[in-house]
Amino acid sequence: MKKHNFYAGPAILPEEVKRKTSASILDFAGMGLSVMEISHRSPQWVECMDKAFSLVNELLRIPEGYKVLFLTGGASSQFYMSAMNLLNDSEVAGYINTGTWSAKAIKEAQLYGTVKEIGSSKDDNYTYIPSVLDSQGIKYAHYTSNNTVFGTQFKELPDVNVPLIADMSSDIFSKEIDINRHDLIYCGAQKNMGPAGVTLVIVKESALGKVTRDIPTILDYRTHISKGSMFNTPPVLPIYVSMLTMQWVKDNGGVAAMNLRNEAKAQLLYDEIDRNDLFKGFVATKDRSTMNACFGLKDDTKKDIFLDMTREAGIVGIEGHRSVGGFRASMYNAMDIESVEVLVSVMKSFSETYG
């Protein structure tokens, strides 16, 4: 039976990408060798790496003055690396706290300077996107563009007059973004870009070199800029699969087309959550994420019955995060609307039987 993969991350990849990857694991670029067993200095690999860079540049329309990097360590490493490279001990950074991931980012940034929470939705268990209260005196404002755990998403950029830093791990390539407002964007690949193991960083070069502390060579963005992300051995397989995924995005109309697809999928599911008397959405309607829909049953005692029904329909990965409960349906780029239709039809038959 066809599986409908709603996992939040690591998450769904396009079928075509998986097929091409499996072929290249046996024979890459006609070399008779695996993509995993060739030198990262070989011309075949360098070509692949160049293609990955140019796809990021093209799909996200990266402006002059910005550099694209493929690093390791996940988005979690960027929590400290961003502050280490951009914030002096004597300076203040503004952070918008929208839940799990931004809270972790705040904790790490505090090691390198002063963090001021310039907005938070903690008072209501992170069920909405807060507005910025006071951004006076801050060097930059950090936000998490899509809150993977609680299912909220910024629909507009935070209203501040300083450069932005964004953790876009779970909605990169899902819609167009105004890069120019940012000094730094980072994301772990495993939600909407590729498999776990590579971290995308987009940094404004002129924002670097302004901190006075000593930075270990490998943690300095300028090292990776000067070496084209090949200062040390890059994670070749995750970069390769990400490159294929970006090519798939391009072949399917680019980021703007992804946005339309994603809006349509999200609308279909949220409409059913609102229409169906047995279900309720968890977050403020205007802040609902197109990527991760968090919802539950009004009567939680029937949860296992509903989960059994989804399983029978081939649906995988919709159990909510342990800190939220209920269900979470992640609908990243690679998911077809057909999978959301299957989920909605299970919700309808559930309410016909138990409503």
Ligand X SMILES: *Cc1c(COP(=O)(O)O)cnc(C)c1O
The helix/strand/coil state of 148 is: coil
Of the listed pieces 73-81, 116-124, 155-163, 247-255, which binds ligand X according to CB under 6 A? Answer: 73-81
DSSP secondary structure string, 162-222?
S-EEEE-TTTTTSS---GGGEEEEEEETTTTTSSTT-EEEEEEGGGSS---S---GGG-HH
Under the criterion CB under 6 A, does residue 74 sit at the interface with ligand X? yes
**Contacts of ligand X in 3-62 (CB under 6 A):** 9
Judged by beta carbon, residue 106 or residue 346, the one nearer ligand X is: 106
Determine which one of 67, 167, 183, 220 is catalytic: 167
Smallest gap from residue 262 Cβ to ligand X (A): 16
d(CA 281, CA 23): 42
Of the listed pieces 126-134, 163-171, 222-230, 313-321, which binds ligand X according to CB under 6 A? Answer: 163-171
Q: Which residues contact 166 (CB under 8 A, 6 or more apart)?
A: 142, 143, 144, 145, 182, 184, 185, 186
Instruction: Quote the crossing angle between the two packed helices 337-354 and 254-275, to the nearest 10°.
Output: 0
**Contacts of ligand X in 102-161 (CB under 6 A):** 144, 148
Smallest gap from residue 101 Cβ to ligand X (A): 4
Q: Phi and psi dihedrals of 334, rounded to 5? A: -75, -10
Under the criterion CB under 6 A, does residue 333 sit at the interface with ligand X? no
Binding residue for ligand X, selected from 21, 24, 170, 262, defined by CB under 6 A: 170
Burial-class residue 260 by CB neighbours within 10 Å (0-12, 13-18, 19+): exposed
Judged by beta carbon, residue 78 or residue 276, the one nearer ligand X is: 78
Of the listed pieces 19-27, 69-77, 82-90, 150-158, which binds ligand X according to CB under 6 A? Answer: 69-77
Size of the residue set binding ligand X (CB under 6 A): 12
* Nearest one of 261, 279, 278 to 270, comparing CA atoms: 279
Under the criterion CB under 6 A, does residue 98 sit at the interface with ligand X? no
d(CA 2, CA 206): 48
Interface residues toward ligand X, by CB under 6 A: 9, 74-76, 101, 144, 148, 167, 169-170, 188, 191
Active site residues: 101, 167, 191
